Amino acid sequence: MPTRRGFLGHAGAAGLAAWLATHADAIAAAADHAHAQSRAAAPRLENLSPAQARTIEAVAARIVPSGDDGPGAREAGVIWFIDRALGTLFAGARATLLHDLESLPADFADHDAVAQDAQLASIEAGPLFGQLHFLTVLGLLSSPDYGGNRDQLGWRLMGFEDTHAYEPPFGHYDRDYPGFAPPAPAAGSRS
C-alpha cells in the first residue's frame, strides 16, 4: 500500500522534473552564456550593471567562499551564470531581485568578510538571499559544458569525479557482450 510520504516524494520529484523540463532551454542558455563569458577575454554583462554584478559576485563569494579547502563561487565564474539567468530563466524575478539588492550598501563589495557576513545575516531570511543562494549554487554545480562551473571547480569542491563506470552491474543485460572485459583487480587486492 502506498504511503503518503512515498506519494509526496514521487509527486515532488515529478514536479521538479516537470519544472526542469519546461525550463531546460533557459537553464542551458544561461549556462552557455556563462561558459562563453567566463572564457572571453573581456566578458560582457547582459542583464546586470557592473555595480550590480560586483555586489552579487561579492554575495556569491560569501555564500561559497574560497579558502584552504579550494576555490569558491568567484573562481567558478558564477556571476556570468547569474547574469544570463536573470535574462532567461529568472527574467520574471529580475526586477524584484535588483530592487531588493538595493537593501545592501552600494559599497558592499568593498567591505571586509566580517562586515559582509553581518549584512547578509540581516537579509538571510528574506527572498533576496534565498534567490542569490539558489542561483549561486545552481551556477556553481551546473555542468561545465553549460558554463558556470568553470573548470569543474564546483564539482571538485564537493568531491564529485566526472568519470564513467564502464563495468556493467552484475547480471546486467549486456554482461556477456562480446568484447567486454571486466577490469583487472587492483594490484595487491584479492578477488
Give the helix, strand, coil percentages of the chain, each rounded to 5. Answer: 55, 0, 45
Q: How confident is the model at residue 94 (pLDDT cuts 50, 70, 90)?
A: very high
Which residues, including other chains, have CB under 8 Å from residue 37's CB and lie 6 or more apart? Answer: 43, 44, 77, 80, 83, 84, 147
Q: Check whether 188 has a pLDDT greater than 50.
A: yes
Distance CA 75, CA 188 (A): 40
53-62: average pLDDT: 96
Please tell me the distance from the alpha carbon of residue 33 to that of residue 43, in angstroms, as a whole number: 10
Hunting for cell 567486454 — which residue is that? 180
- Output the pLDDT for position 98: 96
CA separation for the pair 20, 24 (Å, rounded): 6
The burial of 1, by beta-carbon neighbours within 10 Å (0-12 exposed, 13-18 middle, 19 or more buried), is given as exposed
Does 79 or 40 have the greater pLDDT score? 79
Question: Is the pLDDT assigned to residue 49 strictly greater than 70?
Answer: yes
The per-residue pLDDT for 29 is: 73
Cα separations (Å) of 59 from 111, 130, 171, 182, 187?
Answer: 11, 11, 49, 48, 47
- The helix (H) or strand (E) run that includes residue 42 is none
Q: Quick one: average pLDDT of 135-162?
A: 76
Using DSSP's 3-state secondary structure scheme, residue 71 falls into coil
